[in-house]
Structure 1
Amino acid sequence: MALEGRFDDGVVRVGGDARQRYHDSRGYGYPLDGNEIALAPVEAAHLLYRGDLEAVVDVESGERLEFREFVAREPGLDFGVRFLVYADLRSRGFYLSPAAEPWIPNPPGSEADFAVFPRGKGPRDGDIAYALRIIGERTDIPASELREGVLAVVDEESEITYFKIDRRNPTGTSDTGGEMPANCEADLLADRVVIWDPPLELYERAFYGQPLEGREYDRPTLQCSLLEATYLAERGALSLEPETVRKRGREVEGERFDRRLTVYSVLRERGVVPKTGYKFGADFRTYADVESVENLGHSELLVRVHPAAYVFEPRDLALDVRLAHGVRKTMVFALVSGESDEDGGIEWWSLERLTP
């Protein structure tokens, strides 16, 4: 026999054998006195949708609500998109609870909507597979609100895309700073620098610049980006003054140049070789373990640089992650605060498509 619930003060209370039927065996709600449980509106809606709950009575109005009437009221913030994701994950065999007490003790961060449990486990087992945040495709995301976990984006046709969000710590073993030359002759052009007669290792081992001669050279003449040239000039490797090159970079790129230079420098110091990511619509593509240009493997990451106060549009996130996935790379966002610390005031976040 299907049970009825009572909707009051933001939750749906269900008596009878609800605890055994819904909570203990299937992970819905949280226990009250005796066998009574309390359900979040989205949990109650799912039980109504399945026909496991016959109706919900609004205590204030006395109105008896079945699934259609209950959903039409949108009982809760962003109820429509949350219900779609909740139902989707339930259909995939996952139990999930609102990321709040008293549904679960020690809930994940404030930005999470649900705690998703590993398959075969529920709220009483103490294990959380990931924190889940749910938004519609028109809801922007401030960079400051990024958290480790999963982001579910519901588009205008109710299709759901899941993104796994992780902190990233790019490191590598490339010889990016060893055997640095001194005062190589160089000329500053409009938006790049030419290094005349540099040591062979500067290109072949440390992977700075591109040879003017293409692949046929004995000792290359290197064309370097303004980022590469500034980094080298700061370390005394070029005959140019670092501030002269840096000033040109700011003239060409504006305020983006300093942010990109910060990220470029930190990556180099960490043993990672950053090269232009223009072909992929990113700031950089990166190589973690460069031994020689001759035996160069594929780049692993695409890096896009943003200020720490940046606000993401879900459509742009989807585009970046889809492109990175299509070329077998991981999309990483470097968020630059401008603060001075050993990591250049950078937060690193990776986003990848996820199939739950």
Structure 2
Amino acid sequence: MNGKLVRDRVILEEAAIAELYSTSYYGRPRDGKLELTLTEAAYLLGRERISISLDKKPLNFKEFVKTASNLMEKFELKYIVYKDLRERGYYVQPSVTDFRLYPRGGHPGKTPAEYFVRVVSEREPLPLTDIMRHLETAKNVRKQIILAIVDEEGDITFYDAKKTDMEGKMREVKTNGIKEEAALLGDRVIIWDPELAHALHHGSFFGTLLHEKMLQLSLVESAYLLKKKVIKIVDGKSGKVLSFKKFAEKATRIEPIFDGKYRTYEGLRDKGQVVKTGFKFGSHFRTYEQIDSIEKLTHSKYLVHAIPGDHIFALQELSRAIRLAQSVRKRMIFAYTTDKKVQYVDIGRTKL
């Protein structure tokens, strides 16, 4: 069955519709002929289901791949992913991302596609804005996004990406009506009052008890409690009471990324999450949806890392963060601020 390479498509005669489309859903019928994308054509040529000619000259597989690589950006990567998905038994068709993928047991005309698949090289920088644009496209047509990352050896790792709201179940900061001064000492804040220290730590899991009479708070925890008017903060050097603005300025000098971390921390706390440092896991925070007792601490569900809205992922860095999160049974969340609102994107490895 011979096809002709015309621009970036391979065109086959009408008989191919019954043999290739009606049974296996390759290509698209158009004007009484079957039109294949370059990836579909390469797959079928490699399986010796079709032959392909250009200007009446037959092309072998090597010649076709070289030609297709000049016609389609990232052809080699897309072919690797297309071939993998087809050999897993999926029906795959082109889409506004790279491919749309049908659920097992489904096919075009029977069920809607379930996923949009975006193909990316491990060496390719991946802007957060690209991920969010694809998520928005998928959302508009009720699809999910899969990132197919192809490494230098041609192996594929699949990641699912989705927006999440990060709703928790702990809204109220429990202080038993106590309001006391706290002191900024170096890069942390100390609450001296034992009752407030106990209430904040045991009631809402703020800070670390150095002993039962003294609570140590991180900069983001301190800023949150200051903004909520739960505590007053006094500069340990000058003895002056600090406004939220002054405290934030000092915190930013201590930690240049304080603003992004604080926005993320505040957003998570306001949504009812209990937020603690994620330093041991290589991220900014770990979060708990609910804590009933400090003594019976539940498993934290998420690792959260604050990034700027214009962040560009290095894929090895992304892979490392996700692998670590999943090795400790957590989901990896990236938080960023847009229009003064914190947004959360959940990226994790998935199996197809």
Decide whether the 8 Å contact of 1:175 with 1:206 is kept in 2: no
Report the TM-score, using the length of structure 1 for normalisation.
0.89
**Corresponding residue to 1:123 among 108, 125, 137:** 108
Q: Specify the code of the residue in structure 2 equivalent to 1:50.
A: R
Decide whether the 8 Å contact of 2:307 with 2:334 is kept in 1: yes
Written as runs of structure 1 = structure 2, the 5 A alignment for 1:140-155 is 140-146=125-131, 147-148=134-135, 149-155=145-151
How much has 1:135 moved relative to structure 2?
1.0
Query: Helix, strand or coil for the counterpart of 1:177?
Result: coil
Match of 1:134 in 2: 119
Separation in structure 1 between the aligned mates of residue 264 and residue 17 of structure 2, nearest angstrom: 53
Query: Helix, strand or coil for the counterpart of 2:159?
Result: strand
Separation in structure 1 between the aligned mates of residue 184 and residue 271 of structure 2, nearest angstrom: 27
Query: Helix, strand or coil for the counterpart of 2:300?
Result: coil
Alpha carbons of structure 1 residues 179 and 211: separation in structure 2 relative to 1, 3 Å: closer
Decide whether the 8 Å contact of 1:182 with 1:236 is kept in 2: no
Q: How many residues are paired up? A: 328
Match of 1:251 in 2: 253
Decide whether the 8 Å contact of 1:191 with 1:248 is kept in 2: no
Match of 1:305 in 2: 306
**Corresponding residue to 1:52 among 36, 49, 53:** 49
Q: Specify the code of the residue in structure 2 equivalent to 1:204.
A: H
Decide whether the 8 Å contact of 2:171 with 2:271 is kept in 1: no
Give the superposed CA RMSD: 1.5
Query: Helix, strand or coil for the counterpart of 2:231?
Result: coil
Match of 1:221 in 2: 214
Separation in structure 2 between the aligned mates of residue 12 and residue 133 of structure 1, nearest angstrom: 22
Written as runs of structure 1 = structure 2, the 5 A alignment for 1:1-356 is 3-34=1-32, 36-53=33-50, 55-59=51-55, 62-73=56-67, 74=69, 75-99=71-95, 110=96, 112-146=97-131, 147-148=134-135, 149-179=145-175, 181-197=177-193, 198-199=195-196, 200-213=198-211, 217=212, 220-240=213-233, 241=242, 242-254=244-256, 256-337=257-338, 339-340=339-340, 345-356=341-352
Separation in structure 1 between the aligned mates of residue 105 and residue 22 of structure 2, nearest angstrom: 13
Alpha carbons of structure 1 residues 276 and 176: separation in structure 2 relative to 1, 3 Å: farther
Decide whether the 8 Å contact of 1:193 with 1:226 is kept in 2: yes
Residue identity over aligned pairs, in percent, reads: 33
Q: Specify the code of the residue in structure 2 equivalent to 1:33.
A: D
Alpha carbons of structure 1 residues 246 and 42: separation in structure 2 relative to 1, 3 Å: same
How much has 1:182 moved relative to structure 2?
4.6
Structure 1 residue ranges without an equivalent (≥5): 100-109
Structure 2 residue ranges without an equivalent (≥5): 136-144, 234-241
Alpha carbons of structure 1 residues 181 and 58: separation in structure 2 relative to 1, 3 Å: farther
Greater mean deviation of Cα atoms: 115-124 or 159-168: 115-124
How much has 1:244 moved relative to structure 2?
3.5
Separation in structure 2 between the aligned mates of residue 50 and residue 205 of structure 1, nearest angstrom: 65
Q: Specify the code of the residue in structure 2 equivalent to 1:39.
A: L
Q: Specify the code of the residue in structure 2 equivalent to 1:233.
A: L
Separation in structure 2 between the aligned mates of residue 193 and residue 37 of structure 1, nearest angstrom: 70
Decide whether the 8 Å contact of 2:175 with 2:203 is kept in 1: no
Report the TM-score, using the length of structure 2 for normalisation.
0.90
Query: Helix, strand or coil for the counterpart of 1:161?
Result: strand
How much has 1:180 moved relative to structure 2?
6.3
Separation in structure 1 between the aligned mates of residue 177 and residue 190 of structure 2, nearest angstrom: 15
Query: Helix, strand or coil for the counterpart of 1:331?
Result: strand
Higher helix share: 2
Q: Specify the code of the residue in structure 2 equivalent to 1:130.
A: Y
Decide whether the 8 Å contact of 2:171 with 2:270 is kept in 1: no
* Cα deviations by residue, 1:141-199 (Å, 9 ceiling, x for unpaired): 11111133000010000010000001111011124424464531211011000001242
* Cα deviations by residue, 1:18-72 (Å, 9 ceiling, x for unpaired): 10111111011000233x200000000000111111x21113xx33112121112
Alpha carbons of structure 1 residues 131 and 319: separation in structure 2 relative to 1, 3 Å: same
